[in-house]
Amino acid sequence: MSDRVILTGLVLGSYPYGEYDRRLVVLTKERGKVTMWANGARKTNSILRACSQTFVYGRFDCFMNRDGYRVTSAEVGNYFSEISGNIDLTYLASYFCELAEYETLENADEHRILTLLYQALRAITNTAIGPDLARVVYEMKMYYLSGEGPQVSQCVHCRKKDEEKVFSIRAGGRVCKACAGEYYDPVSREQKELAEGRASHNWYNLSEAAWYALSFIASTPPERIFTFSVSEEILAELQELANAWRIAYVNHRFNSLESLRVMEQYRSFMIPKPKEDGGET
- List the x/- string, 10-39, binding to Zn ion by CB under 5 A: ------------------------------
Site for Zn ion contains 157 (CB under 5 A)? yes
Residue 157 Cβ, how far from Zn ion at the closest point, in Å? 4
Indicate the residue among 102 and 211 with the shorter CB distance to Zn ion.
Answer: 211
Q: What is the smallest separation between the CB atom of 178 and Zn ion, expressed in angstroms?
A: 6
Q: Write each residue from 114 to 153 as x if it is in contact with Zn ion (CB under 5 A), else as -, in one continuous string.
A: ----------------------------------------
* Least distance from Zn ion to the Cβ atom of residue 201, Å: 21
**DSSP bridge pairs for 203:** 168
Amino acid symbol at 98 = E
> Applying CB under 5 A, does 158 fall inside the site for Zn ion?
yes
Compute CA distances 250 → 11, 140, 143, 175, 244, whole Å.
22, 11, 9, 21, 10
**Residue 166 within binding range of Zn ion, rule CB under 5 A:** no
161 vs 261 by CB, closer to Zn ion: 161
Contact 166, 204 (CB under 8 A): yes
Is residue 113 part of the contact set for Zn ion (CB under 5 A)?
no
Exposure on the CB side of residue 5, measured as CA atoms within 13 A: 16
With CB under 5 A as the contact rule, the residue among 51, 155, 166, 217 that binds Zn ion is: 155
Residue 59 near residue 46, CB atoms below 8 Å: no
8 Å CB contact between 204 and 183: no
Write each residue from 178 to 217 as x if it is in contact with Zn ion (CB under 5 A), else as -, in one continuous string: -x--------------------------------------
Burial class (CB within 10 angstroms; exposed 0-12, middle 13-18, buried 19+) of 105:
exposed
Strand bridging mode 4-17 / 21-28? antiparallel
> Nearest distance from residue 147's CB to Zn ion, in Å?
22
Residue pair 94/259 in contact (Cβ under 8 Å)? The answer is yes
Cα distance between residue 173 and residue 154, in whole Å: 9
Q: Residue 20 or residue 204: which is nearer to Zn ion going by CB?
A: 204
* Per rule CB under 5 A, count of chain residues that contact Zn ion: 5
Reported in sequence order, the residue ranges of 82-207 that DSSP labels E, i.e. its strands, are: 165-168, 173-176, 203-204
Minimum Å gap between C-beta 73 and Zn ion is 57
CB of 175 to Zn ion, least distance (A): 6
Give the interface segment with Zn ion, choosing from 9-17, 127-135, 175-183, 238-246 (CB under 5 A). Answer: 175-183
- For residues 67 and 54, what is the distance between their CA atoms, to the nearest angstrom? 20
- How many Å apart are CA 107 and CA 99, to the nearest integer? 18
Question: Measured from the CB of residue 144, what is the shortest distance to Zn ion in angstroms?
Answer: 21
- Separation of alpha carbons 76 and 79, rounded Å: 7
Taking the complex as a whole, the smallest distance from the CB of residue 160 to Zn ion amounts, in Å, to 5
Residue 176 interacts with Zn ion (CB under 5 A): yes or no = yes
Binding site for Zn ion (CB under 5 A): 155, 157-158, 176, 179
